[in-house]
Structure 1
Amino acid sequence: MEKTGQPTINDVARIAGVSKKTVSRVINRSPLLNDDTRKRVEDVIGQLGYIPNPQARALALRRNFLIGLVHDNPNAQMVLNAQQGILEALHGTEFELVVRPVDRGSATMLDDVRHFLERQRLFGVVLLPPISENDTLAKLCTSIGCRYVRMGSAQLDDPAHMVTSNDSQAVTAAVNHLIEQGHRRIGFVAGPHGFRSARERREGFERALSEAGIAFPRSLSADGTYRFESGIIAAERLLDLMPRPTAIFACNDEMAAGVIHVARQRGLEVPRDLSVIGFDDTAIASHIWPPLTTVRWPIASMARSAALKIISTTADNDDGAVEEPSMFRSTLIRRASVSSPTE
């Protein structure tokens, strides 16, 4: 008897000669397939007119087709770049993105995240720094069966649950660039206390000076919060020094822009009187004058990989898509804010 009714995923798998898992991966645009298999399954889907039922699949998985982005980060551009990367990974799939800011200083932070994950029944979650550095939060995700990937500046987890960058080495390369230009009195605008990225970037800065035999007195270091305003405050203090630094490295572009703002207010020309380097390569780096030399942090690529690690897993394969890269290299982008000192 000829079969009637809507075609099912079982029909697609049987005719294509593959498993249901493979059909699911084709539907979700998983990268873990060769082109021949993908095309064969897509052809059968087209011939049968099969339409996936996300509600039924979500019920079977006891999860919605939602990927969460959980963050507590003062850098709005970083969050936007992370969203961009995740949305690139989700394009053409059944998955949607849900963004949830939290307060890492709150006594109820873990409970707040738990309620969010359970209420939304998320398929998985991407955790941005600094909350990605919280091991208890990662264990919470595991305990309620929510897939997770942590983003950060150092290896915090196994490759299936982590994407990281080489912040420390990248900052060392950036400071070496200043040293090669002849700078010896280099100021430092730090990131917020408690951020692993801030610690990694400071270590990279201090390593470059130490290897070059250059002293780093406490007076040449100023605290920052990753915000533009904190860059202004830090620059006011550093540029009040006598003698003042001939170059300043700031731990992100927002603070570096604040440094350039103060320098121009004081009649200093960048880079003739003061060289400046930032970190991130956000839009502000190429929009200010002079364009900012900075370290390009591949946040969108990292977020894309994090999302792909999550959606490439299936209900019967929770080992994670470790084939997605876990390490992303930051690179120095040379623009017009650095030159040799005139003194």
Structure 2
Amino acid sequence: MARLAKVSKKTVSRVINQSPYVHDATRAVVDAVVARIGYVPSPQARGLAINRSFLLGLIYDNPNAQYIVNVQGGILEACHREGFELVVHPCRQVAPGFLAEVKTFVQRQNLDGVILVPPLSEDAALVALLRAIGCRYMRLMSVPLDEPTSMVLHTDRTGAAEVGAHLAQLGHTRVALITGPQRYRSTHERREGFLGALAEHGVTVPDRWIVEGLYTFETGEKRGMELLSQADRPTAIFASNDEMAAGVYKAAYRLGISIPRDLTVVGFDDTPLASRMCPALSTVRLPIHDMGRLAADRLIGRINDGDAGKAQPITVTPHLVIRESSGAFV
């Protein structure tokens, strides 16, 4: 290409890598040669030359498929813009050999960095392993457990508090909560934010109306049936994610309970499912896609710049979106 364009190899390299230090006329000549011969740069060759793979990893153990799809979409947006690719690795945190499995995955793929989502992002041993093998990482977290440069922090407690205040303002005093798994810190953040806001409005949730789900549709339906089959059933249910809220909808349908006339239901996440349900679900909007993009942007920036300088913390604040599933208690 250098011979055909009558320039140096270094100039061709600069044009291919979109360096600004090339005259427009020279760039046009080189681009024409590239187009004529159909040259496509090899990322593998480029990676070998500079000891980089241009690969990020997404490591997760999360039962909520929609959450993973959304965060993956955000990561891919950043990767495509910056010339990186994404390798996805599902795993089981409680499985024997979990840490060894992750180490093998990272080293075999020669990853430049990884992104961790809950609950893996809360695993201190996993983070220690990544540090030990020199793999950069970003963590999506509901509580600050790391340096600001390594986290995207989402303040779930704030969003859940808005739900508590909303239900109290609607006049509900018989309120139930379906939490997520106890091993998730987000579960505790959402619970404390919700119950704290209700308490400020003089509403107390009895222990028998605080039940654990697994962030899945099936557990939402099961817990919904248990709560709504009681003689003095609650008039409002906060399900700690949209999948479980959808399960509550099914339980209410099976029992002949009308939403929102007889029951108010609120979810968390604001996945696409929420606005498509009938009636449309009130829920806390957590910008999961944006969180993935922000994490990947920060991680790629650290890879390219060698972790130079101090970066500002990335904090995402969820907010309640009120839709048709919210009804006043009369």
User: What TM-score results when the alignment is normalised by the length of structure 1?
Assistant: 0.85
What is residue 112 of structure 2 aligned with on the other side? 123
Paired residues in the alignment total: 317
Mapped contact 1:128–1:152 kept (Cα < 8 A): yes
What is residue 192 of structure 2 aligned with on the other side? 203
What is residue 70 of structure 2 aligned with on the other side? 81
User: How far does the alpha carbon of each residue in 1:218-266 deviate from its partner, in whole angstroms, 9 at most, with x for none?
Assistant: 1111110000010111111111223111100000001111111111211
Mapped contact 1:312–1:321 kept (Cα < 8 A): no
Q: Tell me the C-alpha RMSD between the 2 structures.
A: 2.4
1:95 to 84, 104, 112: 84
What is residue 7 of structure 1 aligned with on the other side? 11
* Offset at residue 162 of structure 1 (A): 0.3
Residues in 2 aligned to 1:88 and 1:45: alpha-carbon distance in whole angstroms: 31
**Secondary structure of the corresponding residue to residue 69 of structure 1:** strand
**Letter paired with 1:212:** H
What is residue 333 of structure 1 aligned with on the other side? 321
User: How far does the alpha carbon of each residue in 1:98-140 deviate from its partner, in whole angstroms, 9 at most, with x for none?
Assistant: 1100101112111110000000001111101110001221222
- Say if 1:336 and 1:60 are closer, same or farther in 2 by CA, change over 3 A: same
* Offset at residue 41 of structure 1 (A): 7.0
* Offset at residue 92 of structure 1 (A): 3.3
Residues in 1 aligned to 2:184 and 2:99: alpha-carbon distance in whole angstroms: 18
User: How far does the alpha carbon of each residue in 1:143-169 deviate from its partner, in whole angstroms, 9 at most, with x for none?
Assistant: 222111001211121111100111011
* Offset at residue 8 of structure 1 (A): 6.0
* Offset at residue 83 of structure 1 (A): 0.8
**Secondary structure of the corresponding residue to residue 234 of structure 2:** coil
What is residue 294 of structure 2 aligned with on the other side? 305
Matched, 1:276 2:262: no
Mapped contact 1:152–1:164 kept (Cα < 8 A): yes
- Say if 1:330 and 1:46 are closer, same or farther in 2 by CA, change over 3 A: farther
Mapped contact 1:127–1:149 kept (Cα < 8 A): yes
- The share of aligned pairs that are identical, in percent, is 44
Residues in 2 aligned to 1:79 and 1:200: alpha-carbon distance in whole angstroms: 20
Gaps of 5+ in 2: 1-5, 35-39
What is residue 211 of structure 2 aligned with on the other side? 222
* Offset at residue 40 of structure 1 (A): 6.4
**Letter paired with 1:116:** F
**Letter paired with 2:105:** F
Residues in 2 aligned to 1:92 and 1:124: alpha-carbon distance in whole angstroms: 16
**Letter paired with 1:5:** K
Mapped contact 1:72–1:129 kept (Cα < 8 A): yes
User: What TM-score results when the alignment is normalised by the length of structure 2?
Assistant: 0.89
Equivalences for residues 1-343 of structure 1 within 5 A = 4-5=8-9, 7=11, 46-47=27-28, 49=31, 54-314=43-303, 317-319=306-308, 322=311, 326-342=314-330
**Letter paired with 1:253:** D
Gaps of 5+ in 1: 13-22, 28-37
